[in-house]
Structure 1
Amino acid sequence: MKRWISLIETSVLSMAGLRILSASIELTAAILMLIFNDVKKALAINALLAIVGPVVLVTTMTIGLLSMADQLSFSKLFFVGLGVAFILFGIYK
């Protein structure tokens, strides 16, 4: 198992780890909603999840872009960053 993990690129492993962490937080939130069995508490938990999603998105995109920075031109990096900005703008506006 250690040998298999050592073959995976560090940035890919970091991105996958963040996604696994995000999924664990989502699953925990769903279980808490079922345990509390209250609409107000479920909405509060859901509001907290609205923070987690974009943070994980931006962090994983940043890790990926930093690891690819030497392979992409500045204009391509600019357009990828602009795309992420549009996604966040669409979420919050």
Structure 2
Amino acid sequence: MIFLADKIVAGMAGVRLLSAAIEFTAAMLMLKSGRVETAFKINSVLALVGPAVLLTVTSLGLAGLAGKVSPAGMVVILAGVVLIFIGISRI
């Protein structure tokens, strides 16, 4: 049995497990359909899930760090997250 020392970490892991289950289910649906058009539609829906998961897990992490990181450090972390989203949107 895994001992959970921090509820924030458990929440972050839980969201990632949910994301993995969604991805696996989508892959199985793609294989079952056997059609490129259907697989492409399923993949398009997954394009919405990925950023939502990233944002949720990052938000949980920032909430957990809120009292432990200096305000300047928090600004640097938030700037890094913003840069990730800018980089992704420019592709």
* TM-score of the pair, normalised by structure 2: 0.91
How many residues in Structure 1 have an aligned counterpart in Structure 2? Answer: 90
Mapped pair 1:92 → 2:73:
no
SS at 1:53 equivalent: helix
Aligned to 1:43: 40
Aligned-partner Cα distance in 1 for 2:41–2:55: 23
Deviations 1:18-75 (A, max 9, x none): 0000000000000000001111111111111111111111111111111111111111
Task: Choose which of 61, 65, 79 in structure 2 pairs with 1:68.
Answer: 65
Which segments of 5 or more consecutive residues in structure 2 lack a partner in the other structure?
none
Aligned-partner Cα distance in 2 for 1:86–1:67: 21
Aligned CA-pair RMSD:
1.2
Which segments of 5 or more consecutive residues in structure 1 lack a partner in the other structure?
none
Task: Choose which of 19, 25, 30 in structure 2 pairs with 1:28.
Answer: 25
CA shift, 1:8, in A, is 2.7
* TM-score of the pair, normalised by structure 1: 0.89
